[in-house]
Amino acid sequence: MKHKGIICGILAAVCYGTNPFGALPLYEEGVNTSSVLFYRFSMAVLMLAVMLLAERKSFKISGRELKTLGSLGLLFAASSITYYQSFRFMDAGIASTILFVYPVMVAVIMATCFREKVTASTVAAITLALAGIGLLYKGDAGVPVSAMGVLLVMVSSLTYAVYIVVVNQSSIRMSSLKLTFYVLLICMLSLLAYSFTSPDLHLMLPPSPRAWFFACWLGLVPTVLSLVLMTVAVHEVGATPTAIMGALEPLTAVAIGVMVFGESLTFRLLVGIVLILSAVLLIVLGKNFHLRTVRHALTAIVRKTWRWKS
């Protein structure tokens, strides 16, 4: 396993886990879900367009590439819509932790559809992850977590899992920046269409400078940085390892929820998180990953990121 891919996968997960930090303050100011997502993706598209123009990269794509990019954009839009809607039914930390079921889905899809070998450590990791997710379904005093919230997160997990598999299996050969630009452009257009499906989902401007800041945060950290790094990781180490490293997403989101938004960290939730992280450690420790090479891998990533190449 390439160390660059591991580091990119870890950083992508941490960045994606900051979604609640940007989304919840916007909800507090009355911004609806479709608007939050629209501004997240429109800011990201603008940032990526500037980066591509600065590097004088071509925006030209073929019809075959457009079909694949269109599928990726629709998948990511569906995943984002259902994920953000789930914040209205449950704590962001719990939603983000349940979302971690997507590595299991990736492993199953890769094994059943692409004959990827499933090792004993992978099976054990999946079992631990499912046990952790099962513990998260109940709240304090045995009060169930919202069934609608769980359903929304599971749909988000499935569409995100398929997104990762398509990135891994597609024959597209273009820079991570260019691929991410078109995926998010299609996401933005999809959300425009989604905003007209109900009078309650109309687009609204961020009402304050604070809201604009968090809209920009959503565009940069959990979108541009996360997706570019994730694309690099998938190409370097494969779909299943990248997905499993996503365990840092719920850890990041729970930390933000507890420290920033005052969400409760119950014993049941803590045990569930420990089980899920144990599953990831089981996978990672089974690989030949040596800490002494981290510095060299980080240096290579910084140099390539500076040149805006994958």
- Residues contacting 259, CB < 8 A, separation 6+: none
Dump pLDDT digits (tens) for 82-95: 988 887 888 776 77
Residues of the chain above pLDDT 70, percent: 82
> Any idea which of 33-47, 234-248, 280-294 has the lowest mean pLDDT?
280-294
Encoded amino acid at 87, one letter? F
pLDDT of residue 174: 84
Sign of the alpha-carbon dihedral angle for 235, 237, 242, 247: negative
Backbone angles phi, psi at 238, to 5 degrees: 105, 170
Query: What does the pLDDT read at residue 289?
Result: 42
Q: What is the pLDDT of residue 36?
A: 84
Which secondary-structure segment (H or E) carries 25? helix 19-28
Q: Give the C-alpha separation, 12 to 223, whole Å.
A: 9
- Reported confidence tier of residue 293, pLDDT bands at 50, 70, 90: very low
Confidence of residue 142 (pLDDT cuts 50, 70, 90): low
Q: Which residue has the higher pLDDT, 64 or 19?
A: 64
Higher-scoring residue by pLDDT: 200, 67 = 67
DSSP secondary structure string for all residues of 28-92? HTT--HHHHHHHHHHHHHHHHHHHHHHTT------HHHHHHHHHHHHHHHHHHHHHHHHTTTS-H
| pLDDT for residue 165 | 92
The domain tally of the chain equals 1
Asked if 275 and 128 touch (Cβ cutoff 8 Å), the reply is: yes
The pLDDT value recorded for residue 133 is: 67
**Residue 258 to residues 76, 90, 219, 253, 266, Cα–Cα distance (Å):** 27, 14, 23, 9, 10
Per-residue model confidence as pLDDT tens digits over 145-166: 788 888 999 999 999 999 999 9
Domain interval for residue 132: 3-306
> What pLDDT, on a 0 to 100 scale, did the predictor assign at position 284?
64
Taking residue 119's Cβ as centre, other Cβ atoms within 10 Å add up to 10
pLDDT value at residue 71: 93
| For range 11-18, the mean pLDDT | 85
Predicted pLDDT at 121: 74
